[in-house]
Amino acid sequence: MKKCYTCMRALQIILMVPFFIVLASAACFAQTTLIAGDISIVGFNANSPDGFSFVNWVDLSPNTVIKFTDNGFNSSLVSNTVLNYREQEQYVVWTNNTGNIIPAGTIITIQANSATAPTATVTNIGTITSVTNSSNGSAASNMSLTNTSGDQIFAFQGTGGPSTGSTTATFSGTLLFGFNYSGSSGTATTWQALGAINGSTSYLPLELIASQIAIGPNVVGGQYTGPTTGQLSLAAYKLLVANTANWTTVGTTGTVILPTSTAVTFTAGTPPVITSQPSNSSICAGTNTTFSITASNASTYQWQVNTGSGFVNLSNGAPYSGVNTATLTITGATFALNGYQYQAVVTGASTPNATSNAVTLTVKALPAATATPTSASVCSGTATNIALTSIPTGATFAWTAATASGTVTGSSAGSGTSIAQTLSGNGVTNYTVTPTLNSCPGTPVTVAVTVNPNPAATATPTSASICSGSATNIALTSTPTGATFAWIAATASGTVTGTSASSGTSIAQTLSGNGVTNYTVTPTLNSCPGTPITVAITVKPAPTATATPASASICSGSATNIALTSTPTGATFAWTAATASGTVTGTSASSGTSIAQTLSGNGVTNYSITPTLNSCPGTPVTVAVTVNPNPTATATPTSASICSGSATNIALTSTPTGASFAWTAATASGTVTGSSAGSGTSIAQTLSGNGVTNYTVTPTLNSCPGTPITVAITVKPAPTATATPASASVCSGTATNIALTSTPTGATFAWTAATTSGTVTGTSAGSGTSIAQTLSGNGVTNYTITPTLNSCPGTPVTVSITVNANPVITNQPSASTICTGANTTFSVSAANTTGYQWQVDAGAGFVNITNDGTYSGATTAVLTITSATAALSSHVYRVNATGGCTPAAVSNSVLLTVNTAPVITDQPTDRSICGGADATFSVSATNATGYQWQVDAGLGFVNILNAAPYSGATTATLTISSATQALNEYLYRAVVTGACSPAATSGSALLSTADNVNPIITGCPADIAVNVGSPNCSNIVTWTEPTVTDNCSSTILLTSDHHSGDVFVAGNTVVTYIAKDLSGNEATCSFTVTVTDVSMPVFTSCPEDAVITAGEYIFTAPVATDNCSIVTVEQTAGLASGTIFPEGVTVQTFEATDVSGNKATCSFTVTASVATSAQMGKLNNVRVYPNPASDVVYISPNTSSAHEYVILLQDISGKVILQQNLTAAQNDLRLDVKDVSKGIYFLVIRDASNQKIEKIIIE
């Protein structure tokens, strides 16, 4: 303090000299005094170059010294415990010589300066003051870290050890941090816990429990790689560094690159806050803009852009600058940036980083003007029609106008969305148009408008007169030349056809009609129309001839009568004639107003007639005259003979073909009915009677009649049949006997047979005078009998034969299944029956049933069983049906089954499961046909459907899959249905899904008793950890306040394990660890045996220490120091006792004699062994001659237990002590002038 006061006075004196101020200030800084946890090791490398890094959690003042060693500690007692330090490796002394405070959070690296030849140790901050060997204090090049078997590093302030190379030195100083690693071949993951240490291992001193890191197995290098920013305090980083999960390690040959930067690495503090957000920007394309923010606690800025796929960092480069400042500048923004979003990420000394609001850049596109058309050619005197549009749409337009060539008038500057100005002259005008959108002007465009003059047309001839059907020939020319011409045509008077609007250099159109047509011709030159001119064309009509009739059909030998007229009237007519088909005579060419010529033959003649009016011939017309021949009739047959009632079939044809026919009829002989006059191509009339009728037939073709012909028809009579009997009824299997006769007699008979109802066999078609056929079946057969006389069949007669069949069962009875006490019926349907008899087979054959209390309807088609009992089950029933014909019909046999209601034999039982497990409920029942499980969730039972979590809802076993806690305490039951009611309902069963069962801890250790270890007052206790199981949880939390391998201090410690499952159920397991101190105290000083002259004797009281506690030392025998010792041997005994009752004894003798010149000397050549002894003590004098000795064995009170005179010559002397009690004794050996007293223990 005095030195610093002097320095400060110097500062006051030389205040005006800054350089000396700095020097004086640095000199006045005292080093920072550190405590455990003020630094942490954050990296190490045991593969060359060896080294490590540490971080300071507090500021380090200039001149601060921190020492590092790879020495170890012999126990987990505090570091300064006597003899607890193994001092045989190196010390590295680091000093902050920067003259400045090293801020907390700075990583400092210390390592050998070369991987191949480490000649010195270097650091990135401060200086390495010294590197020494702790065994002798000599200089060393670096701290050598063992890469195979591991090592440790301790940081401390203070002296350390005495540098004597002792394995039991005493450490002096303050430990700051401990670091332990396993090495490439080491498997340890923590500090040594048992046994002696070596150069690669160490216990962790007690004061570093919270300031240490141990990494393994198989690790030769590692480095903290967790967060170094974002925490609000350095204490938070310290916890992260202590967690080895935040370290990256290497094994075997790996090398860690330790940091060499001088920057503060761990930063903590208030995160940045944005105080002013950026704003959206809207600009024209190609211009500049900026986005700015302000923020507190900011250290860096990073602007980001979102182009549609998320925000990414920007880099400086066109169009961006200032991407790492508070203001982002965008230069010459293109429209491609429109809609991009920007934000700034601000970092500070601590996280989280601050991210600004996202802002949008709106880049307004420069409009591009489009003129439609982009250039134009207009006629003089017409208006421009130029539409103006833009991309993007919505721009406004302004233009200027200038004549580029020729002479043009009517143009002017203006604005709008179109240019519509009437221009005159002959030349070119340029319009320059500039678009503007959202105040952003676009690039001007130029529209060139060419103004063209109008042409004058000339037609040659200027007018014309032509016949209808002739062509116009009008040549068209223009001034100036080169024009094109277009015309329209309009009828000025009359009717003219053939005109049409068109274009070209001449008008050549074929016109028809009667009237005048005007052509209006417009010339066009360079798309500019001239003044139209008109050309008048007069069309003279061509006459149209009309022949009446227009065509004719006449009979051969008749005359034509064809009148000829025209439109307009007044035309003359001339014709020619030509046969078109067939053969026609009598035709000739001629002229006039009618054609009247007599034609013969069979064919067609065409007359071609041409009209002429005003020298204009009309279109010829053709009149076709058909000359028809007279037909000849033919009848096939020319005569016929038919049966009465039959139809005539007379085909009528003609030559030429195609004639129609008409006839009359007359009876020539006998009596015939059915004939009549008629027409057609055949005579088909049904005639009856007996006689002859004549038909007279006249043909007509094309209204021309032919010569009549006659056809004679002879009618023969039909016979009538008689069957005896006319109908009959027979039994199945008997014959018919039907006799057949006719009127008139002599007819033959043929018949057919058809079953009209039922089924009848044995019938067949046949012929003869009787029907005798054996019929079978049940039904009606009709015989249809046809008589024939002179090939004429008579009217058929029908004979109906009824065949009666044997009884037949048509509907069999059906088996019946009913419930006990119910009624049932068996029914049968039968044909051809007159009676029924029901029968029953109860096991001994069928017997007839009589009506009684159980049965009714025993002789009807329906048997009724009333109140059926179970005894009737399995009875078989049938019926015999009798009729008019034998044998009787016997029905099928049917079974009666009488069922009973279902009965539950096994009830469902409660189930207790874990949540998520499966559960089943089962029921057993007799007479069951169906099951329906129900659930009561608290509102009554409802049916269960097969849907998760349920299956088997309609079976005897209901399955609940992955039952959740929600189903806890639901009730389940089954409703069992059978063939008979009532249904049976099971009892309710409870489902419990709540886990109320505690976990089970097995292997809980029994109480453990151990002795304390040496030199500690504690011991490491190990046991087999208990295991835990649970009925539901696979994840069970097993916690304990102690674990196997922990260090236990002397005394009783209750170790408790607590197992907790996911439902909160707990189980505990406890046992007691008793650590007993059995180590005796140790006398660190005990006086040597003394030989004095009788009188006062002062000695130093013995001193004892204990591994665990304070030691009480008491004198149990002898005299106090400073008292008068009498002549003789006084045994002085002191006893040291620790708190556990362990005792140690310190004894020495004081031999006092009267002060004479013959005072005895000391025997130095006698050895006593063994010590302790049990049976024999040997005394070995170092002499070759016989020598006399007196041997005395005294207890600690000085009492002589044994006395013996022995003579020794080379051989050892033997003292038998097997009968001496165990304890501490003094052996006194004397010869004539000397003696030796030695403490001995008898066991």
Averaged over 106-113, what is the pLDDT?
Answer: 89
Q: Which fold has domain 903-992?
A: Immunoglobulin-like (2.60.40)
Lookup: tokens for 180: 């332990």
Alpha carbons 870 and 411: distance in angstroms, whole number: 122
pLDDT above 50 for 661: yes
| Helix H or strand E segment including 240 | helix 234-242
pLDDT band (50, 70, 90) for residue 6:
very low
> At 1156, is the pLDDT very low, low, confident or very high (cuts 50, 70, 90)?
very low
Examine the pLDDT at 13 and tell me if it is beyond 70: no
> Per CATH, which fold does 632-716 belong to?
Immunoglobulin-like (2.60.40)
Q: What is the pLDDT of residue 318?
A: 93
Q: How confident is the model at residue 1159 (pLDDT cuts 50, 70, 90)?
A: very low
Query: What CATH class is the domain 1000-1076?
Result: mainly beta
* % helix, strand, coil for the chain, step of 5: 5, 55, 40
The answer, as to whether pTM is greater than 0.75, is: no
Enter the tokens of residue 535: 């050309």
- pLDDT for 469 beyond 60: yes
Candidates 2.60.40.10, 2.60.120.10, 3.40.50.970, 2.40.30.10; correct CATH number of 368-452?
2.60.40.10
- Which CA distances in Å does 1212 have to 89, 292, 1183, 1217, 1227? 48, 106, 10, 15, 15
Please give the CATH superfamily to which domain 456-540 belongs: Immunoglobulins (2.60.40.10)
Tokens 């940045």: give the residue.
Answer: 272
Secondary structure (3-state) at 1073: strand
pLDDT in tens, 622-643: 999 999 888 999 999 999 889 9
At 1117-1141, the pLDDT tens digits run 988 887 767 778 889 899 999 888 8
Most confident segment among 574-578, 702-706, 965-969, 1038-1042: 574-578
* pLDDT tens for each residue of 404-451: 999 999 999 999 999 999 998 889 999 999 999 988 998 999 999 999
| Residue among 631, 602, 643 at smallest CA distance from 697 | 631
Asked whether the beta carbons of 799 and 727 are under 8 A apart, the reply is yes
Average pLDDT over residues 295-306: 91
pLDDT band at 1030 (very low <50, low <70, confident <90, very high): confident
Q: Which residues of 1001-1023 are buried (b: 16+ CB within 10 A; e: fewer)?
A: beebbeebebebbebbbbbbbeb
Percent of the chain with pLDDT strictly greater than 90: 51
Contact 803/777 with Cβ under 8 angstroms? yes
Sign of the C-alpha dihedral, residues 948, 954, 959, 964? positive
Task: Give the confidence band of 1095 by pLDDT, cuts at 50, 70, 90.
Answer: low
Average pLDDT over residues 654-680: 92
Q: What is the pLDDT of residue 25?
A: 40
Structure tokens at 28: 């006045």
Amino acid 153: pLDDT: 95
Fold exhibited by the domain 552-608+615-628: Immunoglobulin-like (2.60.40)
Between 172 and 134, residue with greater pLDDT: 172
Contact (CB, 8 A) for 61 and 150:
no
Q: Is 1218 exposed, middle or buried (0-12, 13-18, 19+ CB in 10 A)?
A: exposed
Q: Are 84 and 72 in contact (CB under 8 A)?
A: no
User: Could you tell me if 500 and 509 are in contact, meaning their C-beta atoms sit under 8 angstroms apart?
Assistant: yes
Q: Residue 5 above 60 pLDDT?
A: no
Q: pLDDT of 493-539, one tens digit each?
A: 999 999 999 999 999 999 988 899 999 999 998 888 888 999 999 99
Question: Over 70: is that where the pLDDT of 18 sits?
Answer: no
CB 188 within 8 A of CB 152: no
**pLDDT averaged over every residue in the chain:** 87
The answer, yes or no, to whether residue 21 has pLDDT greater than 60, is no
Q: What is the 3-state secondary structure (H, E, C) of 829-866?
A: EEECCCEEEEEEECCCCEEECCCCCCEECCCCCEEEEC
* Residue 256 identity (one-letter amino acid): V
pLDDT computed for residue 445 by the predictor: 92
- The topology (CATH level 3) of 1160-1242 is Immunoglobulin-like (2.60.40)
- Of 57, 72, 63, 66, nearest to 25 by C-alpha is 63
Compute the chain's Rg from CA coordinates.
73
| pLDDT computed for residue 2 by the predictor | 34
Fold entry, domain 808-899: Immunoglobulin-like (2.60.40)
Pick from 79-93, 256-270, 986-1000: least confident: 256-270
| Residue 3's pLDDT band (cuts 50, 70, 90) | very low
Whether the pLDDT of residue 309 is over 90: the answer is: yes
Q: What is the CATH number of domain 291-363?
A: 2.60.40
**Per-residue CA distances from 945 to 681, 948, 955, 961, 991 (Å):** 85, 9, 11, 14, 18
- Read off the pLDDT of each residue in 915-924 and give the average, rounded to a whole number: 90
Q: Convert the pLDDT of each residue in 974-1018 to its tens digit.
A: 999 988 989 999 999 999 888 888 889 999 999 999 888 766 678
Indicate whether 20 pLDDT > 50: no
